[in-house]
Amino acid sequence: MKRIFSYNVNGIRSAVSKGLLDWLKHVDADILCIQETKAQAGQMHETDLLALGYKTYAFSARKKGYSGVAIISRIEPDHVEYGMNNPKYDCEGRVIRADFGDLSVISVYFPSGTTGGDRQVFKMEFLSDFHAYLNRLRQNRPNLVISGDYNICRLWIDIHNPEKQQNTSGFLPEEREWFQRFIDDRYIDSFREFNAEPHNYSWWSYRANSRENNKGWRIDYHVVTDALKSKLLSASILPEVVHSDHCPVLLEIDA
């Protein structure tokens, strides 16, 4: 069994200052996929993580203090792929992949379109291009775990007050339509395989006591290819873990 966590830490240095390493000591993580490292190589507490038994594989944005993804693992990968071979997105440090035998784990940070305009267009282009990238990849690597911050609430039950959010980036009809096409293309939202209940969120605004009142969004996922469906053991969200405006999500898989 592998325990795979995904966590948008909203700055790894900030999260460490809030106790991230102490949390990691106790959760028995095999693999931790990180998004929004907001750091460059050498700034991610790599030595501290190594002391805990974890090696850090990171892909940073060219712009300092922005974006960035990492895979922190106590299992030695056979291969690590940095980026998706597309300079348009790779300069922003959005995708990293590690192969463990016949299993591939991807940490991905989808663009946010909250500023609207060009960035929303960029986000929609990323959705299409990332889907195509995965479809090419799965021809040779069929067992994919695609972990990260998707910046989209997939379902009506994945967001607080959906009626008033339909013109908000992250819950736009075209974003949810993309997500449904993605799922229909033999990808599985692992959390919804185990839990069909509303009010399960992984991100909360810092405003208006949103987290305390559980007025949040579910935007962090472990999506897997259908080849892994029979291997899924459990999937959960850990809202009690607080080092970020997100919380970690966990997938347990027999792989």
Which residues are tagged catalytic?
149
Torsion of CA 34, 185, 179, 238, to 10 degrees: -40
Collapse the DSSP code of 88 into the 3-class scheme (helix H, G, I; strand E, B; otherwise coil) and give the result: helix
Residue 223: CB atoms within 10 Å: 23
Beta bridge partners, 137, equal none
Three-point CA angle 82, 153, 134, nearest 5°: 30
Contact indicator for 82, 98 with CB cutoff of 8 Å: no
For residue 52, the number of C-alpha atoms closer than 13 Å in the C-beta half-sphere is 23
Q: In the chain, count of helices (H) and strands (E)?
A: 7, 14
What are the angstrom distances between the C-alpha of 10 and each of 72, 109, 199? Answer: 16, 11, 22
For residue 83, the number of C-alpha atoms closer than 13 Å in the C-beta half-sphere is 12
